[in-house]
Chain A
Amino acid sequence: MNWTAVQRILGLLLMMFSLTMLPPIIISAIFNEGSWLPFLEGFGLTLVAGVLIWLPVHKSRKDLRLRDGFLVVASFWTVLGTFGAAPLLLADSLSLSITDAIFESMSGLTTTGATVLTGLDDLPRSILYYRQQLQWFGGMGIIVLAVAVLPMLGVGGMQLYRAETPGPVKDTKLTPRITETAKALWYVYLAFTAACAASYMLAGMNWFDALCHSFSTVAIGGFSTHDASIGYFNSTTIDLVAIVFMFAAGINFSLHFFAWRYVSIKHYSQDPEFRGYTVILFSVAVLVILGLFQHQVYASPGDTVIKGLFQAVSIATTTGFTTADYSAWPAAVPVLLIFASFIGGSAGSTAGGIKVVRWLLIYKQGVREITRLVHPSAEIPVKLGSKAVGHRVVDAVWGFFSIYVVVFSAMMIAMMMAGLDQVTAFSAVAATLNNLGPGLGEVSSGFMTLSAAPKWIAIAGMLLGRLEIFTLLVLITPTFWRR
């Protein structure tokens, strides 16, 4: 273990992160709210902590090893959740407990979007903005941002990038230099955010709401500036804009990058994961709409289609925006939606869940077993598109899947032991581990009614989900620490 290198980068990252507490001060000034003090305090606290960590080792010039990458990413996200909570904890208008403040900040950073706050509409704008901004930085990954702007990370940058980026295959770079790759991803991300904010404004939001919602849409987060989420606007145009951008943000960002660079959309249609993703979203939406029609939840067919589609896309991409109380929908529909969040978005997107490409590989293996029963001596590789997938990747997918199941069960039982009923416990774990946000039962609109213990379990779940379990889990294995 290369402690000095880890410590140095951790300090640098914290100093960088402290800068993100400055924009809310500007927002506070614009709206003349006088709620800037907690952000200034948070900024000072984080900056000083960063400097204190960085200063003793700032001359160290050692390279990061593979293991150090895991340690940096895992500890940084943990530390980040804590320091990100500082302004929320210090804000008088909120008077949150430590648990609630950390829950809220972690839910933001991991793009989960579950909240413990009520009465959002009356809160100072600077605090609302800060929550949205947390999601935005968490979406593409603040470490990817660091790799893009801090050139000295170098080869170590690849280790960090790999430990943070979701998906089973992480070796594909868009450009030879990791810094350039990270930059390209952030440019695409920025472009999407700008386009999304502009579209929201054209659809009728004011600039503040448009900016805030564009942050949480592109990050697939789900925080809103209103208690009623997107439903507050009660506008079909806004719903449609949100649907389009949630869908786009759930696609692998390298596809967007190629489309942008080669000015062609053929990369999308050629990508098997994209096709799988589209088919899954479409099927879920159709099933939901059919369910709504069957039980005649809404009087007009137009309402049924748009509400069904919105909830399907929002939940299946793990965003968590709502325009209706879907947990009150009849029969299998809410459970179907929760199950869809297990699939989530594509690898390399900002979405959570297990990721489409993993399901695709598992599905193809199932098909292979069936074919093998019929042709026992056939040689059948698992293929994605026209390329055979290496058995290392397939093994890794199974490994991930089994760990996911184990972690899920353990957390659900822990939740139930902490006093939740089965439906609430199940959906709360699904909502956090998949970085979805809203669940069913007691947690359908937020986690505010829960006691401290389930909240901490939920915090752990969000972090595990965002870092795809392994990055965090590897730290508690003895092999990792053995020299």
Chain B
Amino acid sequence: MTQFFQQLDNGIVLGATYALIALGYTMVYGIIQLINFAHGDIFMLGAFGGLWIFNRLPTSLQNNHVVALPICLVVGIIWSVVIAVAMERFAYRPLRHAPRLAPLITAIGVSAMIEEGTRLKYPGAKAPLEFPALLPGGGFSIGGVTISWAQVTVVVVAVALMIALQGFVQKSRTGRAMRATAQDPDTAQLMGVDTNRVIVVTFVLGAALAAVAGVLQGARLGSVKFDDGFVAGLKAFTAAVLGGIGNITGCVAGGFILGIVEVMAIQYLPNGSGYKDLWAFVVLILVLVFKPTGLFGEQVVERA
């Protein structure tokens, strides 16, 4: 039983990362019905941005994790946001009224460019690069279940950001504009909403959350790799679909569920670790086949 709770703990931490990335998918999809295939790579870019600034910090700051972590987070966020905004402006915006296949194919191209650009910038990135362990060390134990402070940090930061996001979307003026655009962009525009701005804001928020997830994940696991974003992105997308795409609360729940499912499958199924990346896809297919609206999604009206 101890083992079960230990894995539950691990699953929640993994799920927090998935949920943070998934928010970007779900918000962008909710507003422009685009599966932003390159979002996983934005997550990876966040980690690389954090690593980049860390290597340029003076040694005294490098050793002071309480200062270094926020700096890495901020630079990671800036880097991810810049690329995400550029991607929206130059790759997606010109295709806003193109047939649906076109932006999706563009997204694949953007994803390849980001991954390869990172690999070319860091010729050593074919192998994982070492990421500093910025999260607090040590931990505590409840009834035999070890919980590290690093895990606590990840979950606390993630949950705080999700609550903040939910507040922003529900309470702020821009959040209201986002919801209006999601419901009907044309009408929203007629009502005076600058939809282009709303879309940019959506990309910015998604990228920032993904960057935080990237830095935290890098700091927790101790390494980053240029193609980290691919599988993480797919899993986060699964989480978004699981919760009902376009639905922020559902998306967070989906992230946690997926994280727990994955960890449990590794623990309790035969050859679990070999098939570790398989379960997300199995879940994805099952959800889409049996409940395409997701666990918490409402009926989405098909929009031409």
A binds B: no
| Chain A residues close to B by CB (< 8 Å) | none
